[in-house]
Amino acid sequence: GNSVTQMEGPVTLSEEAFLTINCTYTATGYPSLFWYVQYPGEGLQLLLKATKADDKGSNKGFEATYRKETTSFHLEKGSVQVSDSAVYFCALRDYGGSQGNLIFGKGTKLSVKP
């Protein structure tokens, strides 16, 4: 079945450091891939998405490229800020399967220190 694996946290970085959060997936079809962000005390909100191979999603300085050959969708940002401190979830969505087709990773907590 479909699954998502993302790197475990917590991840602690200094301001202006480079960020990578790894995400790999297993899917039988051609899923769409998403990154969601959850700021403290809030619900999840969509950060970016990619719907087919080689698509690059980007938003707020974050980027992720849909790599079918490595089944990966790693999240990157060149220079993190304190305000980026949050929990980040990788997710995939496909036709068929259970859970309404949507699978989440377990989340990676990012803390950015000034």
Partner 1 sequence: EAQVTQNPRYLITVTGKKLTVTCSQNMNHEYMSWYRQDPGLGLRQIYYSMNVEVTDKGDVPEGYKVSRKEKRNFPLILESPSPNQTSLYFCASSFPQPNSPLHFGNGTRLTVT
43 near partner 1, rule: CB under 8 A: yes
Single-letter amino acid code for the residue at 51: T
Nearer Cβ to partner 1, position 70 or 95?
Answer: 95
- Please state the closest distance from residue 25 (CB atom) to partner 1, in A: 13
**Both tokens assigned to 105:** 């990773």
Hunting for tokens 């051609």 — which residue is that?
30
Partners of residue 61 on adjacent β-strands: none
Spatial separation of the C-alpha atoms in residues 6 and 9, rounded to whole Å: 9
Nearer Cβ to partner 1, position 17 or 38?
Answer: 38
The footprint of partner 1 (CB under 8 A) covers 31-32, 34, 36, 42-46, 49, 51, 89, 93-95, 98-102, 104-107
